[in-house]
Amino acid sequence: MNKELEHRFVTELENNQNIVHKVCSLYTNDRDSHNDLFQEITIQLWKAYPKFRGDAKFSTWMYRVALNTAITLYRKSKKRVQTQDYDSVIFKIKTDEYDDTQEKQLKLMYNAIKQLGDIDKALVFLYLEDKDYAEISETLGISEVNARVKMNRVKNKLRTILNP
Amino acid sequence: MMDELELLKQDWQKKEGHLPKLSYDQIYKMIWKKSSSMVKWIFYISIIEFVFWAAINIIFSDPESMQELKAMHIYNAMMVLNFVNYAIILYFIFKFYMNYRKISVTDSSRKLMKTILDVKRTVTQYVWFNLIIFTITMIISIYGVLIYGPEGKEITESAIQQGNETTFWFMVIVVSLVFTAVLLVLIWFFYKLLYGILLKRLKENYNELRKLEV
């Protein structure tokens, strides 16, 4: 019985691990911390898994646990203090499909996101993941109107950084 | 204009293919590792606090000190205090346990943060409650020692003989007050530091979410 649960959980996580990796890459700046946070999120997911009823999609449920762990439960150690050296997985990849200006702009944008606060980062993340306001508001625990207001503020903030 | 943010979204989704990929076995190993979450730390610290204050209580209620209390005529007062003390400690244990159980990583972020802060608030209340009990105990003891204790009698008598009784009592009160105040400040500072470090980021995030609801 337990073995079956383990197997089901690990398989589902293996298939959906991208979500966790993306959260990690936003909230950490180097590979060690990335792995560290991934580990912690995995533990939290596993601890909560017996209560997962399957009435939501596994991935939806994962967004919530992953973000909560990154924002609320995870203790950043000293080495995770923000640095300018964006070594994380996502930001190292070359975007060769774009011309130089666009690539530069995207880089600037990612850098800007990295400097946002924990909550703003979560908003941007859910936006990038194409989540609707209903899900965003439910994940963070604020009303839809407030989620909208806050999202607009964050977007404007990012735009200002890009077009000073 | 084609929004930069839309562009970013496209780019973000395109990068999925470049993310690291962990194998089944790697993930399987991870689920057995120990969590290092903040909640765990708060839980450990709270347990240590419970044990610490309970130990202080037990240490000071051995039979020998009970006899001394009787001799100083403060036994009854101390017993009442003890009774109240244990009743309230039981209440705290219950509340602490309930709060702790309520923490659920699948709640919304705001609710999760609130539950964690509630746990912390219970612990803080518990600590303040102990400090108050401690202070009352101190006051009763000082009173008992000075009025009925053998050394206390000597001290008060010599003070009276020298003719400065008022000054003497004034001094006793001032010294007790200062001593208690210093102790309270030290402990308060210690907790500020302990939980301040642990909860600073959480508090900031929680306030940011709460501000939105106004």
Summarize pLDDT for B32-49 with one digit per residue, the tens: 888 888 888 888 887 888
Do A27 and A78 share a domain, yes or no? yes
Confidence of residue A1 (pLDDT cuts 50, 70, 90): low
B116 close to B42: Cβ distance less than 8 angstroms: yes
Q: How confident is the model at residue A88 (pLDDT cuts 50, 70, 90)?
A: very low
Contact (CB<8Å) A75/B37: yes
A79 and A113 together in one domain:
no
Domain that holds residue A54: 1-93
Same domain, A79 and A110: no
pLDDT one-digit tens code per residue, B168-182: 888 888 888 888 888
Please count the structural domains in chain A: 2
Task: Calculate the CA dihedral of residues A106, A112, A113, A114 and round it to 10 degrees.
Answer: 110
Residues in B closer than 8 angstroms to A98, CB to CB, are: 11
Residues A55 and A9 in one domain: yes
Q: What is the ipTM of this complex?
A: 0.79
Q: Which residues of B touch A127 (CB under 8 A)?
A: 5, 9
* Candidate from A20-24, A33-37, A56-60, A131-135 with smallest mean pLDDT: A56-60
Which H/E stretch holds residue B208?
helix B165-212
Amino acid at B109: S
How much is the pLDDT for A83?
44
For residue A108, which of B115, B11, B87 has the smallest C-alpha distance?
Answer: B11
pTM: 0.79
pLDDT one-digit tens code per residue, A93-142 = 444 555 677 778 788 888 888 888 899 999 999 999 999 999 999 899 99
> Which of A93, A112, A144 is the last residue in one of the domains?
A93
Contact map slice: B 176-205 vs A, CB within 8 A: 198, 201-202, 204-205
The enclosing domain of A112 has a CATH number of 1.10.10.10
In angstroms, the separation between the Cα of residue A130 and the nearest Cα of chain B is: 8
CB A113 within 8 A of CB A121: yes
Among residues A132, A6, A157, A154, which one has the least CA distance to residue A63? Answer: A132
CB pairs under 8 A between A and B: 156
Q: Do A115 and A48 fall within a single domain? A: no
Is A82 found in the same domain as A4?
Answer: yes
| B27: contact with A, CB 8 A cutoff | yes
Question: What is the rounded average pLDDT of the residues B141-169?
Answer: 78
